[in-house]
Amino acid sequence: MFDIFGLSMVSLALNVLLVFGIGKVLLEHSHSETEARLLLLGLIAAGLLALTVKGILYLSRQYVPQEAQP
């Protein structure tokens, strides 16, 4: 059985860890262009979240029971 809630929680936790790790790498020793690096981090986070949601929706549509499909 496919558990979309558990997969969503794990995916969100992995997204948070990845964004914090990328943020640490981007901002660790930055003394200039901090705003540009924060913008890049925001774009990376938004893209990562969008890909995660797309993947979860794809998986949820793949595992729909046959009697529930129109």
Cα(34)–Cα(30) distance, integer angstroms: 6
Band of pLDDT at residue 36, cut at 50, 70 and 90 = very high
CA distance 36 to 30: 11
The whole-model pTM stands at 0.81
What one-character-per-residue DSSP string does 5-52 give? HHHHHHHHHHHHHHHHHHHHHHHTT--S-HHHHHHHHHHHHHHHHHHH
CA of residue 37 relative to chain centroid, distance: 19
Give 32's pLDDT tier (boundaries 50, 70, 90).
Answer: confident
> What band does 29 get if pLDDT is binned at 50, 70 and 90?
confident
Given pLDDT bands bounded at 50, 70 and 90, which one contains residue 3?
confident
